[in-house]
Amino acid sequence: MWGFKARKGLRRFSKSEEGLGTLEIILIIAVIIIIALLFKDWIIGLVNNLMGKADDQANTIFE
């Protein structure tokens, strides 16, 4: 019985304009998280590379 009410409420929520906007935001966040998890190693390597370059530039400025 509870499952039916929950599905009916979810369906009503997804059909309303406010619910549709919320659903879209949740889906976009989910896709971003999945992409981040798939490319985690590449992103970490890129950030480390950029931070290393920034550190080298800072060392040349302050020397």
pLDDT digits (tens, 9 = 90+) for 12-42: 766 666 556 788 889 999 999 999 999 999 9
14 alpha carbon, distance to own chain's centre? 21
CA 42 – CA 36 distance, rounded (Å): 9
Cβ burial of 23 (10 Å; 0-12, 13-18, 19+) is middle
What pTM, to 2 d.p., does this model score?
0.48
- The whole-number pLDDT of residue 46 equals 92
Longest CA pairwise span in the chain (Å)? 72
Q: Are 28 and 35 in contact (CB under 8 A)?
A: no
> What are φ and ψ of residue 16, in 5° steps?
-75, 155
